[in-house]
Amino acid sequence: AVLVIGPHDLSGIAAYTEVVVAVDGSRQSAAVLRDAVALAEQIDAKLQIVQVVDPEARARAHAAGIPYQDIVEYGHVSELARDLPPDVAASWEVLHHHDVAHGIVDYLSDHRSAIVAMSTHARSGSDLLAAGSVANHVVHASPCPVLLLHPATS
């Protein structure tokens, strides 16, 4: 894992009181939890798990009769929080935004004393051009430091 802190941050690591873990439902994204928990314990910070869900995808699932909200959104992030060791307290939240990267950055604008932790999907070449990179956008636009985990290191 790599922690990226911008050159204008002179506050030091002790200024961060929250570690926000951004997940997307994949096993790779959940792999960052181990490092995020260790960082939160090390700096005595709260742990917050967030997932951004596209409201249009939710509406399509609902129209098809799939109980999307209950199963996918809240179930996944609450399960991740429940699966943490008993001595680790974590809160969780599901965010609704049409663009995952912008949803994370918007959320962080109200959490400036946070460090965001997330995994990359290790896309490259045409896959990266077609799908884009949420992690890349968050690193460049986040008002907070970013802890990145490459899937090969998990």
Q: Which of 76, 2, 78 is nearest to 39 (CA)?
A: 2
Indicate the pTM of the whole model: 0.80
| 107 pLDDT above the threshold of 90 | yes
Q: Over the stretch 115-125, which tens digit does the pLDDT of each residue have?
A: 999 988 655 54
Cβ–Cβ contacts within 10 Å for residue 114, how many?
Answer: 21
Taking the C-alpha atoms of residue 23 and residue 130, their distance in angstroms, rounded to an integer, is 20
